Amino acid sequence: MAAGNGWRGAVIYQVYPRSFSDSNGDGVGDLPGLLARLDHIASLGVDAIWISPFFTSPMADFGYDIADYRNVDPLFGTLADFDRVLAKAHALGLKVMIDQVLSHCSIAHPWFQESRQSRDNPKADWFVWADPKPDGTPPNNWLSIFGGVAWQWEPRRGQYYLHNFLASQPDLNFHNPAVRAAQLDNVKFWLDRGVDGLRLDAINFCFHDAQLRDNPPKPAALRTGRGFSPDNPYAFQYHWYNNTQPENLGFLHELRALMDRYPDVGALGEISSEDSLATMAEYCAPGRLHMGYSFELLTEDASPAYIRATVEALEAKLGAGWPCWAISNHDVQRAVTRWGGVDADDALAKQLVALVCALRGSVCLYQGEELGLPEAEVPFEALQDPYGKAFWPNFKGRDGCRTPLPWDASAQAGFTTGTPWLPIPAAHRARSVAAQEQDPRSVLHATRAFLHWRRQQPALVEGGIRFLDAPPPLLAFVREHAGQRLLAVFNLSSTPVAWPAFAAGELLAVPGPEAGHLRDGILHLPPRGVAFAALE
């Protein structure tokens, strides 16, 4: 990452702490476990870690339902443990980004416990409360992402409260300036503690339509998006009023003003709206978020045309803003399975790391991508995710991408001495860190080599992007910055491809993915092959 450019071009390694490393044998990963394994992350050549929630929580949504924004849940350790992680990460040259879940909290949070008691207590207006319709039904037709209506009845107040996610995750009322001030103060607590960045969960959900207008219906043919299978009623609406309200832009300016008081910190917003690319561009305008990412590359479409159209659509809107790309995270099926099927091989895993790290923007790599882990099959009786339990068997939830990271081939994969909170499949143990360290052709070594090479290429770290017309299954684009121009070509198929139109001179020796070669002026790419060339 070039000096002085903050988070631009950074490769961020996402740690899902429940599944990273368990230090005390209770079957759940924790902060001391992360501390002991930080050297593995640093060896990859990434610039930062993003730690998913470790705050005090009943764990109804595994930490995204926060009961205390300023403390560590005992399941994960203590504040002192977090401080040790922060100090060691900094000593290793890693920045630390933490989740901030601002739009909603847990029903166990003292704010909600007070708010639910009556309509006239000091926190009465801190959440989104509404009277029922005359027939007792909810105030409007808004739906929860996790299924069913987005309103829960509270008999103590004789009102409904809004929850865009689980009923145990009530939405805060950001129209109340005291709520905004309190959440900014919680953010300040962690900035003062020394964190370098914030990953802002569901940041476009902070405000709701104050008039509580109904969302309009969506035609059946358009019911697609982030995990929204046609059987999830959430997909039946245009979500124009329960999120992404114009008032949110003012809050982003308030948040940015706070962050600008600290040197070189960054905010990465998670954005899921009816037009996520447009919202991403709007939220990353000057004076707002430093970076944004959406779910456009977390879909099942891995065609060159779709990837090009997605990136070009964002580039056309983004202006001075900066994107962040991810193809896997803790919410979606792992990319090698999603894009390669059950028979995906190491060549695809190596290529996917190179591809996402070659696009313009910063990058989030999810733990296990450096091992090429496929999606795990989790039987219903072992399922933990409430989302999966609600929609089984049509949608199996998010547990398949959340199983513990395999450190060795032992029964519990070196993750724990106890019983892991999710089962670890034998196929993952065979792809353990220990096994791949011993194999110079492994995905782990390929990832490490490519990321270290990428750091030395200013065009890939900070350059612009321009796509070239190439026949499918090829994806080709040029990255340019500081006098360097690089042509990148990817064969997104499982069969060899030749490109006679290629005319870029000598290819660069790029470590990591399966490499293409020139013969008689024709570029030959093996299955899932990659080529980089320096242009005049």
Question: Which pLDDT score, from 0 to 100, does residue 394 have?
Answer: 85
Work out how many domains the chain is built from and give that number. 2
pLDDT, position 225: 58
Same domain, 63 and 85: yes
Q: What confidence score (pLDDT) does residue 1 get?
A: 38
Q: Are residues 280 and 421 in the same domain?
A: yes
Task: Name the DSSP class of 222.
Answer: G
Q: What is the pLDDT of residue 5?
A: 55
> Quick one: 339 and 240 in the same domain?
yes
Based on the fold, state whether residues 435 and 493 are members of the same structural domain: no
DSSP result, 403-448:
SPPP-SSSTTTTT-SS--SS---HHHHTT-HHHHHT-TTSHHHHHH
Residue 4, pLDDT above cutoff 80: no
82 has a pLDDT exceeding 50: yes
| pLDDT score, position 229 | 58
Residue range 98-123: average pLDDT?
Answer: 98
Percent of the chain residues past pLDDT 70, beyond the cut? 98
In the prediction, which pLDDT does 395 show?
Answer: 87
Domain at 530, CATH number: 2.60.40.1180
Is residue 266 predicted with pLDDT exceeding 60? yes
Model confidence at 226: pLDDT above 60: no
DSSP state of 292: E
Is 154 among the domain residues? no
At residue 294, the 3 state secondary structure works out as coil
Phi/psi of residue 25, nearest 5 degrees? 80, 15
pLDDT of residue 502: 73
User: At 230, is the pLDDT very low, low, confident or very high (cuts 50, 70, 90)?
Assistant: low
Query: Are 369 and 517 in the same domain?
Result: no
The more confidently predicted of residues 295 and 119 is 119
Distances (CA, A) of 393 to 70, 217, 234, 383: 37, 26, 17, 11
d(CA 390, CA 134): 30
pLDDT higher than threshold 90 for residue 6? no
pLDDT tens string 53-79 = 999 999 999 999 999 999 999 999 999
| 301-358 per-position pLDDT tens digit | 999 999 999 999 999 999 999 999 999 999 999 999 999 999 899 999 999 999 999 9
Q: Which domain holds residue 486?
A: 463-534
Domain-terminating residue out of 452, 477, 493: 452
* Residues taking part in catalysis: 201, 270
The answer to whether position 63 is within a domain reads yes
Same structural domain, 422 and 338 = yes
* Predicted pLDDT of residue 232: 86
Same domain, 352 and 430: yes
Q: Is residue 513 part of a domain?
A: yes
Do 447 and 469 belong together in one domain? no
**CATH code for position 422:** 3.20.20.80
Which helix H or strand E contains 80, and what residues bound it?
helix 79-91
Q: What pLDDT is recorded for position 223?
A: 85
Classified as helix, coil or strand, 480 is: strand
Q: What are the pLDDT digits (tens) for 141-195? A: 999 999 899 999 999 999 999 999 999 999 999 999 999 999 999 999 999 999 9
pLDDT in tens, 447-484: 999 999 999 999 999 999 999 999 999 999 999 999 99
Q: What is the pLDDT of residue 3?
A: 29
**Is 55 part of a structural domain of the chain?**
yes
Residue 249 burial class via C-beta count within 10 angstroms: exposed 0-12, middle 13-18, buried 19 and up: middle
Whether residue 388 sits in one domain with residue 362: yes
130 secondary structure, DSSP code: E
Longest dimension (CA), the chain: 81
* Positive/negative CA dihedral, 482, 483, 486, 487: positive
Q: Of 424, 452, 480, which residue sits at a domain end?
A: 452
In terms of residues, how long is the chain? Answer: 536
| Pairwise CA distance, residues 219 & 358, whole Å | 36
- Among 13, 150, 24, 206, residue whose Cα is nearest residue 93: 13
Q: How does pLDDT run across 480-519, given as a tens digit for each residue?
A: 999 999 999 999 999 999 999 776 767 999 999 999 999 8
Give the pTM.
0.97
* Average pLDDT value over all residues in the chain: 95
User: How far is Cα 127 from Cα 157, in angstroms, rounded to an integer?
Assistant: 12
Give domain status of residue 117, yes or no: no
289 token code pair: 């978020």
The pLDDT > 90 percentage for the chain reads 91
Tokens of 270: 């998670």
